[in-house]
Amino acid sequence: MASRKSTARKAPARTFGAKQAAATKKPASKKPAPKKPAPKKPAPKKPATNKAAAPGKPAVAARKRPAHAYTEKVPSTGTRRGPRTATGKRANPETLARAAEESREYLRERTEDGHRAQGRTPPSEGPVRKAGGATSKVVDESIRSAYRPETEDEKFLQAPGEAALHGIDFTRTDPWRLMRIQAEFIEGFDTLASVKRGVSIFGSARTDPSDPQYEMAREVARILAEAGFSIITGAGPGIMEAANEGARLGGGPSIGCNIELPFEQGANPYVDTLINFRYFFVRKTMFIKYSNAFIIFPGGFGTLDEAFEALTLIQCGKISQFPIILMGRHYWAGLIRWLQSRVLGERKISPGDMDLMLLTDDPREAANAVIAAYNSTGEHNELP
C-alpha cells in the first residue's frame, strides 16, 4: 500500500486564477477576414474664380461660357457654323436677297387682303391710274434709274458707287432730288397747316372688319373726333381704314398720308384729305409734327417703327406730353416683358422709359389719356 502511494503521480497545484481561466476557456475559433477599407471619394473641385478673394470675403465663381461661345467663330479664323438669321437659316447674300423679296411680296399680299376684306378690288390688281402728287406714274429719267423699277426712297438711299456701276451720274441728280424733297415738305406743311389737334393711329393693313381690334380703332377715333381731334393714318386698309371711318362718324377731319410702294397701295374711301409721299422720312415728319399722341394697334415693322421713333424723340427731349398708347395688352405683352427683363435689366434704358408707354384695351381710356395730356400743356383751351 505504501509503495503504491509513493509512486502515484500528483496533479500540479493550481491557483484560483488559473482554475477560473481553465473553467472559462473556450475552444479556439477562426478569426474573420479583415474588411477592405472603402475607397475614398475625391474631394469636390473648387469653382474657378475670376479674381483672388479679398480677406474676409468669399470668392466669386467664374461664369461658365455658353456652349455656342466655343462654336461660333469669326469667319476669318475658320467658321464652323457662322452667323444665322433669326429663324436659324445660314446668313449669306442669297438668303438675305430671298428674304427681302419675300418680305416685299408679303407686304403686298397683306395690303391686298385688307382691301378684299372690305369687298374692294386691290388697286394693285386694277388698271393703272395716273395719280397726282407723289404717286404719279410718269417716270422722270433724270431722277429714276432705267435699269430697274424702284421707289424714290430706294433711289435716294442708293450708294453713289452702286449708281456709278449702272452708268448713272448720281451727283447730277442730287440737286433735282433735293428740290423734290423740299416740294414734298412744302406740300405737306401747306395741306396740314390747319391741323391744331391731331392723333395718329397705326396698325396692320390686314386687320379684318370682323376683328375686335378693328372695332376698337373705329371707336377710339370716333371718340377723339367728337372731342375735336383730327385723325391721321397711313391711308391704307385694315386698322387705318377703321380709324378714318371712326373720324368720319365722329364728324372730325379724316386725314391720310399715303406712301409710294413698289406696288400701288391705294387709299381707303374714308379719307377726306389725302397727301401722297415719295419719301418715308417726309411722311414720318408729318405724323410727328401734326400729332399730339400716337395710338398703336397690333401691327408689323411699320407700326413698330412709328412707335419706337416717337419713344426715341421723347427720350431725347424733342417732343413732350406725347402719349404713346399701345392698344391690346395681350398682343404687346411679350414685347413689354422683353423690354423689362432684357433691355431694362441690362440698363440699356431707364425705368422711366417704360412709363412712356400706356397699355389698355379700352377705347375710352385711350381717348381720355390723349385729352388729359393735351389739356396738361396749358397752351390750349381745355377739352371736355
In a domain, 231, yes or no: yes
pLDDT tens digits, residue range 28-63? 555 566 666 666 666 655 555 444 444 554 554 545
Domain count, the chain: 1
The three cell numbers of residue 317 are 427731349
In a domain, 161, yes or no: no
In a domain, 78, yes or no: no
Indicate if the pLDDT at residue 375 is higher than 70: yes
Q: Which residues of 355-375 are buried (b: 16+ CB within 10 A; e: fewer)?
A: eebbbbeebeebbebbbebbe
Range of the domain at 186: 176-376
DSSP string, 103-153: HHHHHHHHHHHHHHHTT---GGGS-----SGGG-----TTTS-SSS---HH
CATH of the domain at 319: 3.40.50.450
**Mean pLDDT lowest among 40-49, 228-237, 276-285:** 40-49
173, 196 contact by CB (below 8 A):
no
In a domain, 121, yes or no: no
What integer pLDDT is reported at residue 42 of this predicted model?
61
CA distances from 53 to 45, 59, 61, 63, 236 (A): 17, 5, 10, 15, 63
What integer pLDDT is reported at residue 71 of this predicted model?
39
In a domain, 226, yes or no: yes
User: With pLDDT > 70 as the criterion, what percentage of the chain qualifies?
Assistant: 65
Residue of higher predicted confidence among 269 and 81: 269
Indicate if the pLDDT at residue 261 is higher than 50: yes
In a domain, 2, yes or no: no
What integer pLDDT is reported at residue 133 of this predicted model?
44
In a domain, 253, yes or no: yes
Which strand (E) or helix (H) includes residue 184? helix 170-192
Average pLDDT over residues 72-98: 64
